[in-house]
Amino acid sequence: MTTRLRFPAAFRAELARSVRSDWPLYALSAGFFLFGLIHAVGRDYSIIGMIDQYAVKWTVNFMIIGPFFAFVVGVVHIAWRMKGRKRLSYRTMVAPRRLARLFAGTLFLLTGGLVFTSAFSAIKTSFPQGQGFVYDHLHADIDNAMHFGVDPFHHLYAFGQHDWLLRIVELNYGILWFIICYFSLYVVMTSPRMEKIRLRFALTWLGSWVVVGTAMASTWLSAGPVYYGRVTGDTARFAEQAAFLSSTSSESASAHMFQEYLWTLYQSGTIGLGSGISAFPSMHVALATVVALYAWEWSRKLGFVAWVYVAFIVCSSVYLGWHYAIDGYASIVVVSGLYWALRVLMPNLGRLRWGLSARALPEALTAQIEKRA
């Protein structure tokens, strides 16, 4: 069989294997979506109310921007690092295994991942229905007690109450964080080099939304410092912070602007992009922690930088009034526990894949391709 004829057969076999290997992710997404449907019964919201808008954003990010930057990075890496093997390296970029993983990862992100995200947004929007935000006073008092009798934003504002610093923190928290965390997910889901950690990483990622963003958030629901006065009636406690944050209300990607947007959606009871208010625990810190845990596993130097970034996100979440400090601390502890639990359990999960161990799958695939050739 010629190389031209072998390529489609190899690609189809690799694609089938890659899609099958992602079955736990599809199962988790389907289960979460089913939970959302059950949760929606008797409540006035649609579980897929924002799926069209999320579809546009996810398509742009994971079918256009993601592949483009991955291709550019690959070409630059080959041109810079590979001296005598450039031709082989370029061929590797379009090898059946690499393309299959790209297609399979993108397929999940635009199906299971998209449905999961849309369901989460709808579920989160429904949290305050019935009980409201009842834990803000308690969480703020715990925060105060843990930080020497002072609400922790005062510690940060003692040296960092500057408009230029506020803009840096806002742009990082509102834009750069999304690029880092979501592009990390894209790379892990679409790169064959991430095969050893892909399933664990994605399960930790999705599991964080389920455990931290859904189960814990709905159980101990709080709105956060920026909304403290509106949900408790005590407008003085965080008045200084609210006044400072409003100084950039007219700027793009300002925290104040997005906070007012979320409050408007909350008051109207409607679902929008990113809708839903819940401070405890912090999903910003949770996803940054997921990236840091696996970055540390991949490289100690990269991991150190990632953990410094986690610390910066924790401080930023307090600085911008989104969260109490304990929201970030809880996220780090819970996500780390989820990470280690999956690291212990995953070897057993791998044996469930279609009756083959993870190590046996490539061998079976190779035998199948050789038989067809």
Give the pLDDT score at 269.
74
Residue recorded with tokens 């230029």: 164
What are the CA-CA distances from residue 65 to residues 28, 32, 222, 252 (Å)?
Answer: 26, 27, 35, 21
In 10 A of CB 42, how many CB atoms?
7
Q: Where are the alpha helices (DSSP H) in the chain?
A: 3-21, 23-40, 51-59, 66-81, 86-93, 96-108, 114-126, 136-146, 153-160, 163-171, 177-190, 198-210, 217-219, 228-232, 239-245, 255-268, 283-298, 300-319, 325-350, 360-372
Task: Give the number of domains in the chain.
Answer: 1
Contacts of 335 (CB under 8 A, 6+ apart): 204, 208, 212, 286, 289, 290, 293
Spell out the residues 6+ positions from residue 144 whose beta carbon is closer than 8 angstroms to its own. Answer: 150, 151
CA distance 58 to 110: 7
Tokens read off for 6: 């072998």
Burial code (b: 16+ CB inside 10 Å, e: under 16) for 234-255 equals eeebbeebbebbeebeeeeebb
Burial class of residue 61, CB neighbours in 10 A (0-12, 13-18, 19+): middle
| The pLDDT value given to residue 130 | 62
Query: In terms of Cα–Cα distance, which of 23, 184, 187, 21 is closest to 106?
Result: 187
Q: Which of 271, 273, 210 is nearest to 47 (CA)?
A: 271
User: Torsions phi, psi of 369, nearest 5?
Assistant: -65, -45
* Nearest alpha carbon to residue 334 among 295, 293, 299, 276: 293
pLDDT at 346: 81
How far apart are the C-alpha atoms of 122 and 272, rounded to whole Å? 9
Global pTM value: 0.88
Output the six-digit token pair for 240. Answer: 């200084």
* pLDDT tens digit at each of 373 positions of the chain: 444 546 678 878 888 999 999 999 999 999 999 998 887 776 666 666 677 778 888 888 888 888 888 777 776 766 666 665 656 555 666 678 888 899 999 999 999 999 998 888 888 877 776 678 999 999 999 999 999 999 999 999 999 999 999 999 999 999 999 999 999 999 999 998 899 999 999 999 999 999 999 999 999 999 999 999 999 999 999 999 999 999 988 888 899 999 999 999 888 777 777 778 899 999 999 999 999 999 999 999 999 999 999 999 999 999 999 999 999 999 999 999 999 999 988 876 555 544 444 444 444 444 444 444 4
Domain that holds residue 297: 3-372
